[in-house]
Structure 1
Amino acid sequence: MNVFTEFTARVVEAIKQTDLTGKDGAELDLSRVGVEPPRDASHGDLATNAAMVLVKQVGMKPRDVASMIAAVLEQDSDIGKVDVAGPGFINMTLSDSFWRGVVLDILASGKDFGRCDLGKGAKMNVEYVSANPTGPMHVGHTRGAVLGDCIANLLDFAGYDVTREYYINDAGTQVDVLARSAYLRYCEALGEEITIPEGLYPGDYLKPIGQALADNHGDALKGKDEAEWLADVRAFTIDAMMDLIRSDLGALNVRHDLFFSERSLIEGETDRVEEAIKWLEDRGQVYVGKLPPPKGKLPDDWEDRDQTLFRSTDFGDDVDRALKKSDGSNTYFANDIAYHFDKYKRGFAHQVDILGADHGGYVKRLKAAVKAITESKGGLEVKICQLVNLMRDGEQLKMSKRAGTFVTLRDVVEEVGVDAVRFMMMYRKSEATIDFDFAKVTEQSKDNPVFYVQYAHARTASIFRQATVEVPNLSLGRENLRAASLEGLQDEVELALIRKLSEYPRIVAGAAETQEPHRVAFYLYDLAGYFHSVWNKGKEMPQLRFINAKDEKLTLARLALVQAVADVLASGLGLLGVNAPEEMR
């Protein structure tokens, strides 16, 4: 149960029970009525803007409207107190018995507590990672991989039909560079001394591919013109690199449902890039014209000539965009339009792209393209992942793929563990840079969020293990916990913990709606803090300990609360792809 959604419905029903009507007898528009936490916690548990929303419709003073609504809400047995504050805000304090009922609701749902039907089964495509297949996954790809995976988890939890997709950039000049680099390693595997010229990829990760080419072809490719071997070596190398990328992503517990080849857009039975351009052209969204010079320093690729242009300004962009280069070949943007058009034709009106920090200037044109190709029936959300700075001993580690000196995703996972990597990648907003300190993400302290949250879950399991020793005859199965009498949960720290638990459905729904998994990570850290506080208070005040062998009824009630905490922690960690351990050493 989402407490805020539930009480929004109750406020709406309360309004209907008043004598409030529109000034001209019109039906009241209640669509903007909402319930949120009050800005000041001392004002109560919930606050509604109902009176402020209705004043213009009913032609009354807001406090008068609020008083009429409050009079109805006071009859609700789950509301202990209703106050009208300020110009007409209505604050509600819920009864202790209502909060205890939240525990039972969590126990009934388990890890599905907070699952909702926000998406109503709508198809959603989430594209993430999509790195050029020119090297292993490095730490720069890690954040986008985790972000995309967590967003997909959230959308699935919120009722969307999600497809996780990887766009293989295998049609650009960079894969020809990759093929030439692999060919040199092939020659090396045959015993030739090589020198890798500037501009090619020197990394040792290409040596096994060179050896595999030698094993497959012997010396048959040596001495041939590049035109004779380039396509075959390119295809072989891309396949090998994608196998390596899938393995790297697997180490991070990141998966995709579909790997889509950019090259397939232009090498199939039909040229789908030209098809997409023609589709836009038929709707008057493509024309031939000149682009004005950009403000400031002219970029190297700006040309003062007639070009084939997409009317992206009609869809919110700052300038129309070129679809053809001067040599007649397609721009990268044209290929991107075709790719997103293909996704739309596959049934994905709603799409999410995860892009790197260097793609910020690309967002408006992509969103404009998707708005055009879906004829405004769908849309694109773009999440930009800022950089990850790896820190060791106070120094930032430097990376360069072309130089072959970079820290791989697998290196980081093997050193600190997949849980630490995934949680810490989500412990900042995606648009904020992360300093990933190897020492801090492994220390066992409150300053290490992943440890602090996982330790809270492990502590719940430890309490149950202790209970089987101290109260051996007490049945601790979920059904018995659900049947517990919870009146004994009376201390303010216990009720505060329940209130924090009740926020989870709202947090998850908001994180899914905005594609912001960091909200879940922040919430879990706060929840862990509330739980640790209750445990610590029990150390100071024995009457508040979770286990009291002399009072099995109270013990069962408190263990029901502990199980609710465990369920929510496990659910939230699961959405982040992080393990919920039973014990920590």
Structure 2
Amino acid sequence: MLDQIKLSLKNCLSKIDASVNVSIDEIEVSLLFDEKGDFTTNIALKFSKLYKQKPADLAKSIIENFSSEEFSKIEMAGPGFINFFLKDQFFFNLLNSQQNRFQDQSSVNIEFVSANPTGPLHLAHGRGAIVGDVLSNLYQFYGHNVTREYYVNNTGNQINEFLSSILFQISSKHNFNLPYQQFYKGDYIQELAEKCFENFKNIFEITKLSKDEELKIVNFAIENLVNQSLKTLKDSGINFDQITYETSIVEKKLLPEIIKELEKKGLVYNGQLHDPKDFQGTKKDNEITIFKSTNFGDDEDRAITKNDGTPTYFANDIAYHVDKYQRQYSKLINIWGADHLGYLKRLSSALVSLYPEINFSVVFCQIVNLKRDNTIQKMSKREGNIFELDELVKEIGIENYRYFMCYRKNDTHMDLDIDLIKKENKENPIYYIQYSFARSQSVLERVNKVISSNMELSFELKNLIKKIHEWDSVALNSYKRNEVHLIAHYLESVASMFHSLWSSAKSNPNSRFLDDENNLTENAQSLLKKYQSVISEGLGILGIKPKLKM
């Protein structure tokens, strides 16, 4: 119906002035859930300047040219909105109308979590993990061949500090005089250090470790943490198709060819970057390779090589994304924490410089605060004060975890209120959604027979029918905008309307699904089955199974 109204509005505009070309994608039609009508459009307000008319005058012209037998009334509202009132006999057509769902079978790579392998997954990783997995489900819903990828940054200074922390712990506990410092703290470091010691006891019989021995120890530790992380994610319903290590990208030696291509485009030079503010260290004489990211709006150019000639994190990241592009995905999507917002400009500019046709985008996730007893909990990985993700999932349950991590728009801060989440009442949206599904199932299970009688079209029933009809446009909008919270909000809203209809039967017996003999009308059966289909699809995208009983 929404698409049908859009097409009719486009035809009206053509009648008013055929010389003006308005795309049907530019026409907005939405549903109303009050007494002001059933559908509304802002078309007269949006295009009044284009048609050189006042919004009210354009609205009147559109109404005069609009032809349809399905509406009892079409009227202007406010400064130029047009509201449509659907005739009662056409409401159930909304349930049965079949829309051709958009499908795209192209391949998409969605990289998410990609946590530094220096500690267990914690609350900060939890949001990106679910947003990435749900977005993957959403793309699969529309036919895409999706690869879920986890990238392990297993090189750089953070790994050196991680290794040092493990060896410091081993040295302290077993009274070795090893020259290492502690950077990371916490029970997990102690546990990991003990595992490393048990596995490499013979190595610690000497007072100094070789680089090869250090490498064996840190690789063992990283493998342990990565496997632990993957298990935590799998227990939450997240399964990755591809695990890529930064070292494997380095081994492919893509960087020389990348630098060569950027040189051809005049986008790299050899030199020195400006010293950081208040820099007190020794200045280096040698030159490094630098990418001209200021050409693309970055606040400064970025180093591709370090002073010792090895690649920077940025360089390896370019190489990693080149590797993904060369695997011939039609679209690359990354899920990043909001602290990486400033990093996007330099990476995207390098990729577009190499491949102007690349389809690369990033979905940013803001931080999540853990709230308990109405107090925000303070956490720090380096200080060892973290709330591990597997502990969170055990406490609140998988479906609560998956739903609430999608509940707010991904780029807004979120307080995860543990006390509210554990409630089993209408204050907890996912509980209320599941309860609505179980209620609908209880009706279908009690049916004696289906009869061809009419179901009273109450205000609550009309709203529920319209909300169910809205599902396809909500899902498509969520997909186009990469915003999974729209799915969570829709499910909460449609479930609320179902419960409103259910409650209305207390004062209006004609709104009951079943009569005194447990007979169900054909229209009511159609409504319940369509409702369950929509809830099942929505929850399926969120990675949650609907409950038949509560």
Question: TM-score of the superposition, structure 1-length normalised?
Answer: 0.83
Secondary structure of the residue aligned to 2:155 is: coil
Q: Does 1:7 align with 2:2?
A: no
Summarize the Cα distance change of 1:232–1:197 in structure 2 as closer, same or farther, 3 Å threshold: closer
- Map 1:12-411 to 2 at 5 A: 12-13=10-11, 15=13, 18=15, 20-22=17-19, 28-31=21-24, 33-37=26-30, 42-48=35-41, 66-67=59-60, 69-74=62-67, 76-84=68-76, 89-105=81-97, 116-117=102-103, 120-183=104-167, 198-205=181-188, 213=196, 217-220=200-203, 222-223=205-206, 225-268=209-252, 271-288=253-270, 307-375=288-356, 377-411=357-391
Shift of 1:385: 1.8
1:446 maps to a residue whose letter is K
Shift in alpha-carbon separation, 1:533–1:188, aligned structure 2, 3 A: same
Asked if the contact 2:33–2:463 (Cα under 8 Å) also holds between the matched residues in 1, the reply is no
SS at 1:45 equivalent: strand
User: 3-state SS of the aligned residue for 2:505?
Assistant: helix
Deviation, 1:279, is 2.1
Aligned mates of 1:316, 1:553 — CA distance in 2: 64
Distance 1:414 1:98 in 2: 48
Counterpart of 2:532, as a letter, is A
Measured in 2, the distance between the counterparts of 1:302 and 1:445 equals 63
The answer for the alignment partner of 2:547 in structure 1 is 581
Shift of 1:532: 0.8
* Residues 225, 28 of structure 1: alpha-carbon distance in 2 compared, 3 angstrom cutoff: closer
Name the amino acid aligned to 1:323: I
* Mapping 1:491-570, distance limit 5 Å: 491-550=458-517, 552=519, 554=521, 556-570=522-536
Q: Does 1:450 align with 2:430?
A: yes
Deviates more, 1:397-406 or 1:127-136: 397-406
How far 1:401 moved relative to its partner?
A: 2.4
Give how far 1:423 is off. Answer: 1.1
Q: Deviations over 1:300-343 (max 9, x none)?
A: 89989865332323334343322223333322212221112222
3-state SS in 2 of match to 1:245: helix
Q: Taking structure 1 as reference, are residues 326 and 28 closer, same or farther at Cα in structure 2, changes over 3 Å only?
A: same
SS for the counterpart of 2:506 is: helix
Query: How far is the alpha carbon of 1:576 from its aligned partner?
Result: 1.4
One-letter amino acid of the counterpart of residue 7, structure 1: I
Verify the 8 A CA contact 1:249 1:255 in the aligned structure 2.
yes
Match of 1:481 in 2: none
> RMSD in angstroms over aligned alpha carbons?
3.4
What's the % identity of the aligned pairs? Answer: 33
Report the secondary structure of 2:500's partner residue: helix
Q: Distance in 2 between matches of 1:301 and 1:421?
A: 46
Change (3 A) 1:435 1:195: farther
Deviation at 1:229, TM superposition (A): 0.2
Displacement of 1:414 after TM fit?
0.8
The alpha-carbon deviation at position 56 of structure 1 amounts to 6.8
Q: Does 1:429 align with 2:409?
A: yes
* One-letter identity of the residue aligned with 1:272: L
What's the CA shift for 1:128?
0.7
The 8 Å contact of residues 170 and 176 in structure 2, kept in 1 or not, is answered as no
Shift of the 504–498 alpha-carbon distance from structure 1 to 2, 3 Å rule, reads same
**Alpha-carbon distance, 1:150 to partner:** 1.2
Secondary structure, counterpart of 1:546 in structure 2: coil
**Residues of 2 paired with 1:300 and 1:260: CA distance?**
37
Deviates more, 1:254-263 or 1:34-43: 34-43
Shift of 1:146: 0.7
AA in 2 matched with 1:21? A
Asked if structure 1 preserves the Cα contact closer than 8 Å seen for 2:168 and 2:181, the reply is no
Cα distance per residue 1:138-172 (max 9 Å; x no partner): 11111110111111112222343322111111122
Kindly tell me: are residues 205 and 32 of structure 1, through their superposed partners in 2, closer, same or farther at Cα, counting changes over 3 Å?
Answer: closer
Tell me, what secondary structure is at the counterpart of 1:328? coil
CA distance in 1, matches of 2:546, 2:31: 32
Note if contact 1:309-1:321 (Cα within 8 Å) is conserved in structure 2: yes
For 1:124, give the aligned amino acid.
Answer: V
State the secondary structure of the residue aligned to 2:140: helix
Could you say if the C-alpha distance between residues 498 and 220 of structure 1 is closer, same or farther in structure 2, counting changes exceeding 3 Å? same
What's the offset of the Cα at 1:446?
2.0
Alignment of 1:460-479 (within 5 A): 460-465=440-445, 467-468=446-447, 471=448, 474=449
Aligned length: 548
Alpha-carbon spacing, 1:394–1:315, altered in 2? closer, same or farther (3 Å): same
What amino acid sits opposite 1:337 in the alignment? I
Contact in 1 for aligned 2:121/2:229 (Cα 8 Å): yes
In the TM superposition, residue 211 of structure 1 has moved relative to its aligned partner by: 5.6
Change (3 A) 1:99 1:309: farther
Contact 1:33 1:48 in 2 (8 A): no
**Structure 2: distance between partners of 1:579 and 1:40:** 28
Shift of 1:202: 4.0
**Which residue in 2 is equivalent to 1:478?**
none
Contact 2:109/2:147 (<8 A) preserved: yes
User: Structure 2 unaligned runs (5+)?
Assistant: none
User: Is the Cα contact below 8 Å between 1:11 and 1:73 reproduced in 2?
Assistant: yes
- CA change 1:514–1:29 in 2 (3 A) is closer
Query: Structure 1 residues 301 and 148, CA, compared in 2 at 3 Å: closer, same or farther?
Result: farther
Deviates more, 1:365-374 or 1:413-422: 365-374
**Residues 55-112 of structure 1: per-residue CA shift (max 9 Å, x gap):** 67767776666555434532x233333335567654333333333122234xx8xxxx
- Note closer, same or farther for the CA distance 1:553–1:433 as it changes in structure 2 (3 Å cut): closer
| CA distance 1:445–1:58, shift in 2 (3 Å) | closer
Per-residue CA deviations over 1:14-69 (Å, capped at 9, x if unaligned) read: 555x37422xxxx8443554132278955433334555676677677766665554
The worse-fitting range, judged by mean Cα deviation, of 173-182 and 403-412 is 173-182
Paired residue type of 1:548: D
Do the aligned partners of 2:164 and 2:181 also contact (CA within 8 Å) in 1? no
TM-score w.r.t. structure 2 length?
0.88
Deviation at residue 494 of structure 1 after TM alignment: 0.3
Is contact 1:181–1:196 with CA below 8 Å preserved after alignment?
Answer: no
